[in-house]
């Protein structure tokens, strides 16, 4: 019976827990292909290790575009082990606590395929969620180069945007129609109080700050990321550069924004809380609560493929960092811009090295 109530993860010996944060793209997956070392690394964390115990880990990705539940279902099937939603942090997971603040306000979300961005925001509790295609449906002349497909007509929501002030724009994942999204973002951000139907002079060099009361946030700063293609692909960071270049050409300045995602501190703080809850939160009534101790940051191992995001963020958070060669980073090009604690061929070697070092 005691075992039934045992916490999900026992800490190693009497020491504080050892924990891992695994990046996804370029570490576990390349696009839809599973990196061979990933399964072996996850087996070690699931208990196939000298201590014979499960080691707590989360997946910490700048990716996203679907709900955590949907992504976990797909990841569990692809990786062949159960990944629970409380083990997955996507680029936009940090937005979940913000839903309350916007309960009476309209927001515009970008990114993700079709209606998926709206579904993510609604799954966090945001109530009045719009997507750029809703605005196109309201007035097709706002961007004459895209006609709604039959599928898009099935999920766009009809709203009179001349009466709907938008209070925040969240770029959750990679936009699929950069030109439409940049036009709509600019219309919203430059319209007084975010009422997209109102007049403004499109190329005013002067840009009054009062109009920037609308929060603009990007959830993933990655300029590049790695899928099956042999050269890294442009990520959401590239979209941000494109938006700011157009906005600057029209107004003479960048638009202020908030940046979430690795390497930013807010993301790593969120990851520490997830790991803490994973280890200490009772899973069911009557669970034995391990004597709660903070996890020393150095006992959290970030395993990533992108020095600019994974390694930079882990180093800044005083975590241990391991850079692998199966993604963006290629030792043949140049030394890493951010020095990891250790450099490994792949995620299996990384987990084995950390395990030997810490137990
Ligand atoms: O869009 C995902 C990409 O930016 C990188 O994802 O898993 O390597 O943080 P990840
Ligand atoms: Mg990666």
Among residues 221, 136, 127, the alpha carbon closest in space to that of 171 is found at 221
Query: How many other C-beta atoms are found inside a 10 Å radius of the C-beta of residue 123?
Result: 15
CA of 260 to the centre of ligand 1 (A): 13
Is the pTM of the predicted complex or chain greater than 0.90?
yes
d(CA 261, CA 62): 6
Q: Please report the atom of ligand 1 found closest to the CA of residue 237.
A: 4
**Spacing of C-alpha 195 from chain mean position:** 28
> Which of 25, 223, 241, 303 most suits a substitution to test ligand 1, by most atoms within 8 Å of the C-beta?
25
DSSP code at position 322:
E
Contact criterion met (CB below 8 Å) for 89 and 20: no
Residues with CB under 6 A from ligand 1: 23-26, 61-63, 174, 220, 222, 225, 235, 306
pLDDT tens-digit readout, 217-271? 999 999 999 999 999 999 999 999 999 999 999 989 899 999 999 999 999 999 9
Q: Please report the atom of ligand 1 found closest to the CA of residue 23.
A: 7
Over 179-211, what HEC string results? HHHHHHHHHHHHCHHHCCCCCCCCCCCCCCHHH
Q: What is the pLDDT along the chain (359 residues), one digit of tens a residue?
A: 334 444 566 544 456 789 999 999 999 999 999 999 999 999 999 999 988 889 999 999 999 999 999 999 999 999 999 999 999 999 999 999 999 999 899 999 999 999 999 999 999 999 999 999 999 999 999 999 999 999 999 999 999 999 999 999 999 999 999 999 999 999 999 888 899 877 666 666 555 544 557 899 999 999 999 999 999 999 999 999 999 999 999 989 899 999 999 999 999 999 999 999 998 876 655 555 455 677 899 999 999 999 999 999 999 999 999 999 999 999 999 999 999 999 999 999 999 999 999 88
Closest ligand to C-alpha of residue 328 is 2
CA of 24 to the centre of ligand 1 (A): 7
CA-nearest residue, atom 2 of ligand 1: 63
CA of 159 to the centre of ligand 1 (A): 33
CA of 231 to the centre of ligand 1 (A): 14
Alpha-helical segments (H) within 80-223: 116-124, 132-138, 150-155, 178-190
Among residues 240, 237, 222, the alpha carbon closest in space to that of 327 is found at 222
Q: Please report the atom of ligand 1 found closest to the CA of residue 235.
A: 4
pLDDT tens-digit readout, 287-309? 554 556 778 999 999 999 999 99
Q: Please report the atom of ligand 1 found closest to the CA of residue 65.
A: 1
Structure token digits, residue 265: 């501190």
CA of 63 to the centre of ligand 1 (A): 4
CA of 61 to the centre of ligand 2 (A): 7
């Amino acid at each position: 019976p005691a075992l039934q109530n045992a916490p999900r993860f026992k800490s190693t010996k009497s020491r504080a827990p050892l924990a891992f944060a695994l990046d996804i793209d370029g570490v576990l997956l390349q696009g839809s292909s599973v990196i061979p070392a990933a399964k072996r690394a996850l087996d070690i964390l699931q208990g196939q290790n000298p201590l014979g115990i499960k080691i707590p880990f989360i997946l910490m990705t700048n990716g996203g575009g679907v709900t955590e539940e949907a992504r976990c279902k797909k990841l569990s099937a692809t990786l062949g082990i159960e990944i629970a939603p409380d083990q997955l942090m996507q680029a936009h997971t940090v937005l979940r606590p913000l839903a309350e603040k916007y309960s009476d306000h309209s927001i515009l979300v970008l990114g993700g395929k079709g209606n998926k961005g709206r579904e993510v925001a609604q799954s966090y509790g945001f109530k009045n969620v719009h997507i750029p295609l809703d605005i196109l449906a309201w007035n097709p002349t706002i961007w004459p180069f895209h006609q709604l497909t039959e599928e898009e007509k099935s999920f766009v929501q009809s709203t009179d945007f001349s009466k709907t002030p938008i209070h925040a724009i969240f770029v959750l994942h990679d936009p699929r129609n950069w030109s439409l999204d940049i036009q709509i973002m600019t219309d919203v951000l430059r319209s007084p109080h975010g009422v997209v139907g109102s007049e403004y002079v499109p190329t005013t060099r002067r840009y009054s700050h009062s109009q920037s009361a609308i929060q603009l946030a990007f959830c993933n700063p990655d300029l590049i990321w790695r899928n099956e293609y042999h050269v890294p692909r442009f990520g959401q960071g590239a979209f941000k550069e494109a938006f700011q270049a157009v906005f600057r050409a029209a107004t003479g300045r960048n638009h202020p924004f908030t940046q979430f995602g690795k390497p930013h501190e807010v993301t790593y703080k969120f990851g520490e809380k997830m790991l803490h809850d994973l280890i200490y939160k009772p899973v069911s009534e009557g669970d034995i609560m391990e004597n709660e101790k903070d996890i020393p940051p150095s006992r959290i191992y970030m395993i990533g493929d992108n020095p600019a995001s994974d390694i930079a963020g882990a180093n800044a958070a005083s975590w241990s960092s391991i850079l692998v060669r199966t993604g963006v980073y290629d030792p043949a090009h140049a030394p890493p811009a951010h020095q990891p604690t250790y450099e490994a061929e792949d995620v299996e070697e990384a987990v084995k090295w950390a395990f030997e070092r810490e137990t």
